Amino acid sequence: MNGRPPPPAPDLLLPEELAAPPEIRRQLAEDYDRFADAPYPQPVEDYLRENYHIDLAARYGPLPLRNPVGKASGQLSLNAEQVRADVEEGLGFVVLKTVIAEDAAGASRMEEWKIKAPRLVCERIYSKRGQKGWTISWKGRGWEGSLSSYLQFLKEALEIGAPRGVPVIPSVKLHLPALGRERILSKLSNL
C-alpha cells in the first residue's frame, strides 16, 4: 500500500463544479471577498439563515447547538482564555482537554497519560481524489493537573459558555473496575 486511501465510489464525491444558480454563485463570491480579511457577521448562524436559507442548528445528545462547528478535546482547549476565544468566535461547542481519572488520594493508574510536553506534528494526507495535502495535529495526552484543578477549569469554562448558549463538554479517560461495572455505567448515564 502506498499510504493513499482507496478511491471512493464516484457518487460519494462532490462535483468538481458547484451546481448552483448564478445568483447564489455571485453571492458566495461576494461573501468570500468580503469576509476573506474581515470578521464575518455575528451571529453567523443568523446571517446564513437570512441570506442563504440554511439553518445550522444541531444537537449533541440532548444539548442544542447553534451550529455543528466546534473544538475537540486537545491542546487548544485546556484553559479559560482558549474557551473564551472559541465562544467569542462563534463555535457551536467546546470539548475540554481530557482529564485523567484518579483515586481519592490523587493517584492515577494512568499517570503516563498526564504529560507536559505535547508536540505539533505535520503529516502527509491524501484527499479522496488522491490529491496530496497535509494535516497538522497535536500529539499529546491528557490534562497534566489534578482532578481538582480540572473541576475548577470546568466550572470556569461552563460560566464562559453558558451566557452565549455554547455547550462546554468535559472529556474523561478512566478505567472502569471489573466489579460493579454495570452500576458505574448506570450512574454515568444519569449524569
Residues 158 and 78 in one domain: yes
Higher pLDDT residue, 190 or 150?
150
Side chain identity at 54, as an amino acid letter? I
Write the DSSP assignment of 26-80 as a string of letters.
HHHHHHHHHHSSSPPPSSHHHHHHHHH-----EEETTEEES-S-EE-SSTTSSSH
What DSSP designation does 113 have?
A: G
Q: What would the pLDDT profile of 96-105 be if each residue is shown by its tens digit? A: 999 888 878 8
Task: Give a yes or no: residue 60 inside a domain.
Answer: no
Span 164-185, mean pLDDT?
78
Q: What's the pLDDT score for residue 88?
A: 92
Does the global pTM surpass 0.75?
A: no
Same domain, 132 and 50: no
Q: Looking at the predicted structure, is the pLDDT value of residue 113 above 90? A: no
Domain extent, residue 36, equals: 18-55
Supply φ then ψ for residue 159, to 5 degrees: -65, -30
pLDDT at 11: 62
Place of cell 461573501: 31
The per-residue pLDDT of the chain, averaged, comes to: 84
Asked if 116 and 164 sit in the same domain, the reply is yes
Q: How many domains does the chain have?
A: 2
CB 134 within 8 A of CB 63: no
Range from 23-37, 73-87, 107-121, 175-189 carrying the lowest mean pLDDT: 175-189
Query: At residue 1, does pLDDT exceed 50?
Result: no
Q: Does residue 130 register a pLDDT over 70?
A: yes
Residue range 90-118: mean pLDDT, rounded? 82
In a domain, 5, yes or no: no
Mean pLDDT of 92-99: 94
Residues 37 and 77 in one domain: no
